[in-house]
Amino acid sequence: MKERVGSLDGAGRRFAIVVSRFNEVVTEELTAGALEALTTHGVSPEEIEIVRVPGAFELPGACARVIERGGVDGVVALGCVIRGDTPHFDFVAGETTRGLGELARESKLSFGFGLLTTETLEQALVRAGSGSENKGWEAALTALEMANLYGTLR
């Protein structure tokens, strides 16, 4: 039996973090978590690019452009959609997730999915907390592990 698993060694790896500015109090914490995860695991800060977009709905388009351009081993998409009083949440969260999922499947790059979809700001802030509880941290480590795994599958 042969088993393959990706490592968390970021040496020599390059990543783009594409992050929504909407709900910035949350997304800035997600970004900080993603940056900390990547650099803690050996990715040089000079090899990390941050791309900021207005809202979550713009994440798939910007991620697609980064992927088309090349120059990175993986992309980490970060955003936060909080339910309100209208069905807007359902449309934005659903279409953003669908678009990011398509990119993750069709792209040859690793992909970290860090889109929070919560009922309240308080729930979002908990998920953007410190250390490994931070979903930005988690999404970045997923992208790193998958970049290394994809390298073994070539």
85 three-class SS: coil
Rounded CA-CA distance 44/47 in Å is 5
* Residue at token pair 């955003």: 79
Query: Which candidate in 88, 91, 101, 129 is catalytic?
Result: 88
Whether 41 is a known active-site residue: answer no
Q: CA torsion, points 138, 29, 106, 4, in degrees to nearest 10?
A: -20
Catalytic site residues? 88
